[in-house]
């Protein structure tokens, strides 16, 4: 059977609500130490098969493993990189109204992508259980800098950010090739800190560290470009941007204007998943900076933060507005973020999640005539 190739008109960012059986098994393995790794894997394997079946049933042509084997959207990947270690401390990062679990990334040595990184095997399993395109989402290279406090970067040479960024780019370049060699043709990098650097509060915080936020945006774009520029022609790279997502809360706000040119024109990315579900994301005007051609934007007009289902006619009107700034043929539709950026998940139900994904597909059919159109 011929498998359709991305880009598609409908998609989702990556994470899905964790089934209770997965949460229970992970608690038994990681907290209680009462089951073996093989038993946890068996539970996760079964749940991933079910998640893939659900995504295929609603009509998606690219599916993920829901990130069921992860606790976080970013730290599991980062913690398995050579040179990174995760440390647990007293107090976590502040979101709107609540705090993350107090886990922090630290850089202890020279960065590299190991040949046995566990996410490679995660991808291979996903590819073995789907009849459509398997997609894996990993944190983008900017995450490794933005989320690591300067005091937690031990190697003296990494005090020079040009050296650190060069090693991050090289690490991710190796990762891109490793995923390709594992069979991955649709790799997504969640580089949400481009959006954070559009928030006046986060910009001010970086300035207090002695960093120019606009310089950071440019260097983050450079890292992404360096990491993916030599990818094979048949590999598609996506990038997701949002303003934080922890149990339906957020950590940033602000329009994309300060970052849009760098994101669209300096990264070399093929598909952009962009949060657009509330006024916190600003207007659609930055889409005018998307170069004409094959790049695609997936505006996140559908939210994962609440269960209320958006209206199809309203979504069609939003695309009419978006088409004033970008060619409608360069647009698609996806929810604004994942459904469970951490294993706790957003405050919605499984039925809500499925209805949201069904609506993504219905919107693509209504606006473009199909998911693969």
Q: What is the pLDDT of residue 132?
A: 97
d(CA 300, CA 13): 10
Q: What is the pLDDT of residue 102?
A: 81
Peptide bond before residue 335 is cis, with ω within 30 degrees of 0: no
Q: Which two tokens stand for residue 358?
A: 């069904």
Q: Which two tokens stand for residue 178?
A: 């490793």
- Enumerate residues 6+ apart whose C-beta is below 8 A from 313: none
3-state secondary structure at position 247 = coil
| Domains by residue range for the chain, with CATH | 20-368 (3.20.20.210)
Q: What is the pLDDT of residue 246?
A: 67
Q: What is the pLDDT of residue 92?
A: 52
Each of the 373 residues of the chain gets a pLDDT tens digit; together they read 568 899 999 999 999 999 999 999 999 999 999 999 999 999 999 999 999 999 999 999 999 999 999 999 999 999 999 999 999 887 655 545 555 568 899 999 999 999 999 999 999 999 999 999 999 999 999 999 999 999 999 999 999 999 999 999 999 999 999 999 999 999 999 999 999 999 999 999 999 999 999 999 999 999 999 999 999 999 999 999 988 776 666 567 899 999 999 999 999 999 999 999 989 889 999 999 999 999 999 999 999 999 999 999 999 999 999 999 999 999 999 999 999 999 998 999 999 999 999 999 999 999 999 999 7
d(CA 114, CA 99): 31
What is residue 99's DSSP assignment? B
């Amino acid at each position: 059977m011929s498998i359709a190739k991305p880009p598609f008109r409908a998609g989702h960012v990556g994470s899905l609500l964790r089934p209770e059986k997965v949460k229970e098994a992970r608690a038994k393995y990681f907290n209680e130490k009462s089951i073996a790794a093989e038993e946890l894997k068996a539970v996760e394997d079964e749940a991933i098969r079910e998640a893939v079946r659900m995504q295929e049933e609603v009509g998606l042509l690219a599916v993920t493993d829901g990130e069921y084997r992860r606790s976080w959207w970013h730290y599991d990947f980062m913690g398995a990189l050579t040179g990174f270690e995760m440390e647990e401390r007293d107090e976590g990062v502040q979101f709107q109204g609540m705090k993350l679990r107090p886990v922090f990334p630290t850089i202890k040595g020279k960065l590299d992508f190991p040949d046995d990184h566990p996410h490679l095997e995660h991808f291979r399993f996903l590819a073995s259980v789907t009849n459509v395109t398997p997609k894996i989402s990993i944190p983008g290279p900017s995450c490794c800098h933005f989320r690591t406090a300067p005091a937690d970067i031990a190697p003296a040479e990494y005090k020079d950010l040009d050296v650190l960024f060069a090693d991050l780019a090289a690490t991710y370049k190796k990762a891109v090739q490793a995923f390709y060699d594992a069979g991955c043709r649709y790799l997504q990098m969640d580089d949400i800190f481009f959006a954070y650097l559009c928030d006046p509060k986060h910009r001010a915080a970086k300035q207090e560290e002695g960093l120019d936020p606009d310089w950071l945006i440019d260097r983050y774009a450079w890292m992404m470009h360096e990491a993916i520029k030599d990818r094979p022609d048949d590999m598609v790279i996506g990038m997701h941007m949002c303003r934080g997502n922890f149990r339906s809360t957020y950590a940033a706000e602000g329009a994309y204007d300060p970052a849009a040119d760098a994101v669209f024109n300096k990264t070399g990315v093929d598909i952009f998943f962009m949060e657009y579900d509330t006024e916190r994301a600003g207007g659609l005007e930055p889409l005018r900076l998307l170069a004409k051609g094959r790049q695609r934007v997936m505006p996140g007009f559908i939210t994962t933060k609440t269960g209320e289902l958006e209206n199809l006619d309203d979504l069609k009107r939003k695309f009419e507005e978006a088409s004033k700034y970008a060619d409608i043929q360069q647009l698609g539709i996806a929810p604004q973020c994942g459904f469970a950026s951490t294993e706790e998940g957003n405050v919605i139900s499984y039925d809500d999640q499925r209805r949201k994904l069904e609506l993504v597909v219905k919107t693509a059919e209504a606006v473009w005539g199909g998911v693969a159109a």
